[in-house]
Amino acid sequence: MAKLLVKLQRYFRRKPVRFFTLLALYLAAGSLVFLHSGFSGEPTVSGSQRSSGAGEGPGLPYLGVMQLSRGFKAAATMPEGGRRHGPWFKSTSKEPSERGKAGDYSSTRSRALRGRNGREKEEDRARYIGCYVDNTRQRTLRGVSFFDYKKMTVFRCQDNCAERGYLYAGLEFGAECYCGHKIQASNASESECNMECKGERSNTCGGVNRLSIYRLELAQESARRYGSAIFRGCFRQPDNVSIALPVSQLMLNMSVDKCVDFCTEKEYPLSALAGTTCRCGFPTTLFTLHEREDEQLCAQKCAGEEFESCGTAEYLLVYQTQVQDNRCMDRRFLPTRAKQLVALASFPGAGNTWARHLIELATGFYTGSYYFDGSLYNKGFKGERDHWRSGRTICIKTHESGQKEIESFDSAILLIRNPYKALMAEFNRKYGGHIGFAAHAHWKGKEWPEFVANYAPWWATHTLDWLRYGKKVLVVHFEDLKQDLFIQLQRMVGLLGITACEDRLLCVEGQKDGNFKRSGLRKLEYDPYTPEMRKMISGYIKTVDTALKLRNLSGVPDDYYPR
C-alpha cells in the first residue's frame, strides 16, 4: 500500500494538471450529493405560495430562495419566507387565511398586488390586514412612531412595535413606521399602498397618506398589556377632574396593569389610579404633572394586587401609557421665508440634536442645519437637506465658532453643557454614531487623550466667541433643559418668535426623548479623565463661568464643580 501511494505521489508531481482536475471533479460530486440531500425531503409547495416570477410556468416545481436556504443549513431553521422573527411571534404553522385562491399569477399583476402577496407569504406570523387611510392631524395608529428614510423594512417596523407591546404596526411613505393598539380609519384600495420600502424594495411600505398595516401575533398577552408604561408620580386630584381626565371606569378589583390597559385601549397617554376608579386623559393646563406630591399620600394598596399602590380619591397615582400624544407630532416647513436667521449653536456633544427635536415638537416647524447629516435626515429631520439660508426652517443647527460665521446669524440660542459630559458624548458619536458608543480600545488608546487635548479648549472658545460676536444670544444650559424642560423650552420658543400653546409644550414633555438617546447599558465603569485633564478642563470652566457672569448671566450650573 505504501509503494502504491509513493507511485501516485510521483505521478501527480510529474502531471499536476491531472491532479487538480481530479480534485475539482471530486468536490463537484460532493456538492451535488450535499444539495440533493437538502432538497430530497422538501415539502410540496402549494399554489398560493408560488412566486409570480416571469420564469415560472404552469406545472413547473418552485425552487425559490426559501427552499434553497433550507437546503444549505436546515439546523438554522430559518422561518418561512427567509425572514428572521423575534420571540414575540407565536409559533404557529397555519397558512395565511386570505390568499388568492384562483387569482391570476401572471407577470401582468400590479406591483402593489405583488407586494401584498409577498407580505402574506413572508409575514404570516404578523398578519397583513390591509391598506388604510392615514391623516397627519389624526393618525390612524396613535402609538409611538419612527422614521428611517434609508433603511426601513417591514420586519424592522414590526419588531419595534412588538417590542413595545403594540397590537398593530403600520408602514407609510416607504419609510415611516407607526404603532398602535387600535385602527381608527377606513380601508383604502390596495393599489394606493404602492411605495417600496426604502430598505427592501421587494416589499411595500404604504403610500402617500396610506398605511400598510399588520396585526402582530404576540407570544405573550402580558407583553401587550402594560409593557413599557412609565411611572410619572403621585399628584393631587385636579379641580374639575371629569374635564381634566375625561374617561373613567370603576374597577373594584383594581391593579396598575388593569388601569393602564384600560387607558391604552381608550387611546389616552395618561392613566391615573384613584383607589377603585381608573381615570384617563392628556396632560393639560388643568393637569400639568408639574407639582408632584409625596408618594406616601398615594400608598393605598390595590384591591386586586396587594403589593401595588393604587392611589386614593384625593391623590392620584399616574402612569404614562404607550399611547403617543399626537398633539405635538405634526411638523412642516415655514409657510413664508423667514426674515431672520436664528442659530441653534452648541459645542459638539452638547445636545443639539435633542434640542432640535424639542423645538420641532414645540413649534411644529422643521429645524435646519449648517451642515448635512444624512443619518439625521433619514431619522426624520427633513430640514437637514435644505441650505441653511433657505429661510424655510425655524432655526439652524451650528457648531461653528468663528467671527464671520457667528455674525451671519441675526440671533442665537446658545446651548452649553458640562464639558466632561459633552466631550464624552462627542467622542461616542465620533467613534460609535449618534446613538452608539466608542469601543473600549478607543478609550484606552491614544484617541481619547488626543481628543481631549484638541476639543477641551474648543469647548471654552466656542462659548466665548458666541458671547462676544453673537447678536441677541439666549444662553440655555443643557442641564437646566433636562431638569425644567417646560420653562426652558418656553424661553427658547419665545426667541424664535413663536407663541407656544401650553398644551403643546405639555405634549412635548411626554415625547421628550426622541430617537437620539443613548442607552445607559454601556456607560464606562471608570473615569476616563486623568488628573491632568481635570485640571485643564476646570480652568476652562472657570473662564466660561466668569464670562457669563460679566454679562449679568447666571454662571455655569453647580454640578460642573468639583471634579
* Mean pLDDT, residues 120-142 taken together: 77
Mean predicted confidence (pLDDT) in 10-37: 63
Q: What is the pLDDT of residue 563?
A: 45
Per the model's pLDDT, the better-predicted residue between 226 and 292 turns out to be: 292
**Cα gap 130→107, rounded to integer Å:** 22
* Same-domain status, 212 and 231: no
The pLDDT tens digits for 350-375 are 999 999 999 999 999 999 999 988 88
**Among residues of the chain, what percentage have pLDDT more than 90?**
44
- Asked if the structure places residue 246 within a domain, the reply is yes
Statement to judge: residues 432 and 542 lie in one domain: yes
Residue 411 has pLDDT above 70, yes or no: yes
As beta bridge partners, residue 196 has 204
- Please tell me whether residues 352 and 470 are part of one structural domain: yes
Numbers of helices and strands, H then E, in the chain: 18, 17
Question: 232 and 212, same structural domain?
Answer: no
Within a domain: 207:
yes
pLDDT value at residue 219 = 36
CB-based contact 179:213 (threshold 8 Å): no
Q: Report yes or no on 94 lying in a domain.
A: no
Q: 482 and 547, same structural domain?
A: yes
Range of the domain at 260: 226-320
**Nearest CA among 324, 336, 386, 369 for reference residue 511:** 324
Cell of 150: 434609508
The DSSP bridge partners found for residue 477 are: 416
Query: 111, 138, 119: which is closest to 209 by C-alpha?
Result: 138
489 pLDDT tier (thresholds 50, 70, 90): very high
Does one domain contain both 498 and 444?
Answer: yes
Amino acid code (one letter) for 332: R
- Indicate whether 365 and 475 sit together in one domain: yes
Last residue within a domain, chosen from 216, 241, 270: 216
Mean pLDDT of the chain: 78
Residue 451, CB-side half-sphere exposure with 13 Å CA sphere: 24
pLDDT band at 125 (very low <50, low <70, confident <90, very high): low
Q: What's the pLDDT score for residue 347?
A: 95
What are the pLDDT digits (tens) for 310-338? Answer: 999 999 999 998 888 888 888 999 999 99
Q: Average pLDDT, stretch 213-235?
A: 67
* Same domain (yes/no): 402, 448: yes
| 457 vs 537: CA distance, rounded Å | 8
CA angle 219, 223, 228 (to 5 degrees): 155
Shared domain for 246 and 355, answered yes or no, is: no
Query: Cβ(377)–Cβ(404) under 8 Å?
Result: no
pLDDT band at 502 (very low <50, low <70, confident <90, very high): confident
Residue 434 lies in a domain: yes
Same domain as 239, residue 168: no
Residues 533 and 492 in one domain: yes
The H-or-E segment that residue 24 falls in is helix 16-39
The CA distance from 154 to 156, in Å, is 6
pTM for this one? Answer: 0.62
Is the confidence at residue 99, as pLDDT, over 50? Answer: no
Residue 195 lies in a domain: yes
**Of residues 69 and 559, which shows the higher confidence score?**
559
Please name the residue ranges forming H helices in 409-484: 419-432, 440-444, 447-469, 478-483
180 has pLDDT over 60: yes
In a domain, 112, yes or no: no
Cell numbers of 473, please? Answer: 444670544
Q: What is the predicted pLDDT for the residue at 216?
A: 84
User: Over pLDDT 70: what percentage of the chain?
Assistant: 74
Q: Beta partners for 215?
A: 127, 168
pLDDT reading at 71 higher than 60? no
Predicted confidence at residue 424, as pLDDT, reads 92
Q: What is the pLDDT of residue 231?
A: 85
Last residue of a domain, one of 164, 195, 216: 216
Instruction: Please check the confidence at residue 414 and state whether its pLDDT lies above 90.
Output: yes
pLDDT for res 179: 86
| 446 and 475 co-located in one domain | yes
Residue 24 lies in a domain: no
* Reported confidence tier of residue 25, pLDDT bands at 50, 70, 90: confident
Q: Is residue 20 part of a domain?
A: no
Model pLDDT for residues 447-465, shown as the tens digit of each residue: 999 999 999 999 999 999 9
Residue 231: Cβ-neighbour burial (10 angstroms; 0-12, 13-18, 19+): exposed
Per-residue confidence (pLDDT) for residue 514, from 0 to 100: 67
